[in-house]
Amino acid sequence: MSKLLTISPSPHVHTSDSVNKIMYRVILALVPALAWSVFMFGFEAIRVTLLAVAACVAFEYLIQKYIMKSEPQITDGSAALTGILLAFNVPASLPTWMILVGALVAIGVGKLSFGGLGNNPFNPALVGRVFLLISFPVQMTSWPVTQHATVDALTTATPLALLKEGVKAGQPVSEVMQGLPANLDLLYGNMPGSLGEISALFLLLGFAYMLWKKVITWHIPVFILGTIFAFQGILWMFNPENFIEPVFHLLTGGAMLGAIYMATDMVTSPMTVKGQLIYGIGIGVITVLIRNFGAYPEGISFAILIMNGFTPLLNVYIKPKRFGGTK
């Protein structure tokens, strides 16, 4: 008598990858940038990161076990990754209780309120970050100077904030640029900012590692960064005294962190290349618009969350042709 086999719907793909492997590979890719942030900010970078990771893991365990009445899944690495990304999006001087609030919102509201991993429509770390930014704008925009800074101050503004303030005051960009770090300093991370936005170079090293391990593809990061470069380049060419050159926007703020590590979240990004193209262009355009014309100097967090909301539509209306079928 033959055994009955239950066949699930296609696609039938076999791979050795798992959620755990993917999450821990992303965490490993973030290690160089984390090490650099510790070098620049010292113990405070360690404090913020450990607190955020511990809080995210603890809140996920408690909510799943005692509120959702399900088996906690804290060993899959997703909560720890959310904690690291949350830490990368806040100042090194952020008070402990605010980090805890951000972790609770990220896990409790951004992730588990929708059913947990695989069901959340928005990136949880960005939900926590934006909540903190709107609720505590002073603390979230008070950037401590690095250990190696030569200025005699405790806090300072980011390059994006200095640019925004200068242009708003009527200064030409050429004059504002005299007080901004050179592009090489921006590449290495010799500037104030959050833990995850002070070194484009180390974020790019992590990007190369994830491409090598096939954790992500190049499409979304390239579409986002390419759009930022092209759109900002057009504005700069038409009015160089009001808009800065595009490389500055690639190397400052959360452009690299957002494009490489947050917009590529498999749950909240489109599945098809065409959908990823629209998604990436949308994030790039919104980022440039907010940075140049919005109230905030940084816009990629809002841009990613907005386009996260369009992901289900992109997945529904932009589908590849079925194998053997016709359009």
DSSP tag of 3:
P
Average pLDDT score over residue span 196-206: 90
Alpha-carbon span 160 to 280, nearest angstrom? 21
Alpha-carbon span 98 to 84, nearest angstrom? 15
The pLDDT value recorded for residue 282 is 98
- Each residue's pLDDT tens digit, 241-259: 999 999 999 999 899 999 9
Cβ within 8 Å of residue 107, ≥6 positions away = 56, 59, 60, 63, 79, 82, 124, 128
Alpha-carbon span 195 to 45, nearest angstrom? 7
Distances (CA, A) of 217 to 209, 211, 222, 260, 263: 11, 6, 9, 10, 12
The pLDDT value recorded for residue 3 is 61
Q: Is the pLDDT of residue 317 over 50?
A: yes
- Each residue's pLDDT tens digit, 163-188: 988 988 889 998 988 888 888 888 88
Asked if 296 and 290 touch (Cβ cutoff 8 Å), the reply is: yes
Q: Is the pLDDT of residue 320 over 90?
A: no
Tokens 């001087």 identify what position?
Answer: 93
Alpha-carbon span 114 to 136, nearest angstrom? 25
The pLDDT value recorded for residue 325 is 61
More confident residue, 199 or 133: 133
